[in-house]
Amino acid sequence: MDDGKVRNMEEFATLSGISRPTVSKYFNDPGSVRKSTRERIEQALERYDYRPNIYAINQNRRLTKTVGIVVPYLADPFFAEIARNIERRCLDAGFWPVLFSAHGSQALENDILDSLRSLKPAGVLFAPLGRGSDRAAVEKFCRDVPTILFDSNMDDIGEAFVGLDNFQSVGMIVEYLCRTGEPPCFFEMRHPSNPNANKRRESYIFTMERLGFEPRIIRAEGEGWDFEEIGRAEGTRVLAERLLTTDTVLCSNDRLAIGFLTACYENGLRVGRGQGCALRVAGHDDHPFSRYTCPPLTTVAQDYQSISNRSVEALFSLVEGDRPKVRTQTLFRGELVMRDSA
């Protein structure tokens, strides 16, 4: 201690004149020690400017207060918003959230799961890559650690899944587009990163056929999470090759739609519902930036708040020992958001 810095709890206990077990008890639960002792410890914390290593404390508990949050790509504003809501709920409940992004990489996702094991979390809220995940690694992790999956479902993995009813949400916007104009083409990635894309395609096909229209799917080349650039580049190709059989385009997600809107602008095409508009373009998810595109994007809103809250509530039930007898699945309905693009 030549530099005067308190390095660990043992040194802090010695300097403060309070037993090591009592100091440890305080850091685990301040209300568990007598008021007078608590005041002495807090005065010593001020005097020596000591802050304990929260991770080290957690590792010595039978049940840690750490909650892992894993998303496939944090740069995606959708996942950033969901993670922000989850993080806030965990903090309010007295848990310490630790956030990880897999950046679309299976190897990194596996490394994250290994790192989380070493932290001994109370539980994990996990949005897996889905098609890009190592299923065996994810299954093993979910057997070892209480885990709730959200957004991206992997059948029979985790204690529960919370997400959007993609079949309902896509069916709703297809019906709207058919009711207000020409039936839409469906613009999606040929190799989608998220398994929700497959459910959305299935719903599009089902709804179009139910309404008596022929489905028309246009697939964009490209892989990964750079959806806006894929939408722009492939949208440009689609327009140049005149692949559209209708003046309405439904994109599989808002990020693709934002790129497609750029392609329309660069080709001098006016998008919207009014007179003089060449195309209607719609998306899905109500991406946080979708209301600020030009024109503002018609889309389907996911219930960010309900998905976040239900995911956290399900995890807290697990942490408290309320383990479901069977894996549960909670799907929230989407809400149509009508703006000027379609």
Beta bridge partners of 250: 186, 282
Helix/strand/coil for 125: strand
- Do residues 216 and 185 lie in contact, with contact meaning Cβ atoms separated by under 8 Å? yes
| pLDDT tens sequence across 36-90 | 888 888 888 888 887 765 545 555 555 578 899 999 998 888 899 899 999 998 8
Helices (H), 120-242: 135-144, 166-180, 196-210, 227-240
In this predicted model, which residue has the larger pLDDT, 293 or 35? Answer: 293
Return the DSSP state at 298.
B
| pLDDT tens sequence across 298-307 | 999 999 899 9
Mean pLDDT of 26-44: 82
Helices (H), the chain: 9-16, 20-28, 35-48, 54-59, 77-92, 106-119, 135-144, 166-180, 196-210, 227-240, 254-266, 304-319
Q: What is the pTM of this model?
A: 0.78
The confidence score (pLDDT) of residue 326 equals: 80
Helix/strand/coil for 55: helix
The confidence score (pLDDT) of residue 100 equals: 95
- Do residues 125 and 315 lie in contact, with contact meaning Cβ atoms separated by under 8 Å? yes
Instruction: Give the model's confidence band at 263: pLDDT under 50 very low, under 70 low, under 90 confident, else very high.
Output: very high
Return the DSSP state at 145.
S
Instruction: Give the model's confidence band at 26: pLDDT under 50 very low, under 70 low, under 90 confident, else very high.
Output: confident
| pLDDT tens sequence across 132-151 | 899 999 999 988 888 999 99
| Structural domains present in the chain | 9-52 (no CATH), 66-163+305-332 (3.40.50.2300), 166-301 (3.40.50.2300)
| pLDDT tens sequence across 176-233 | 999 999 999 999 998 877 778 889 999 999 999 999 999 999 999 988 888 999 999 9
Return the DSSP state at 122.
S
The confidence score (pLDDT) of residue 327 equals: 85
Instruction: Give the model's confidence band at 320: pLDDT under 50 very low, under 70 low, under 90 confident, else very high.
Output: confident
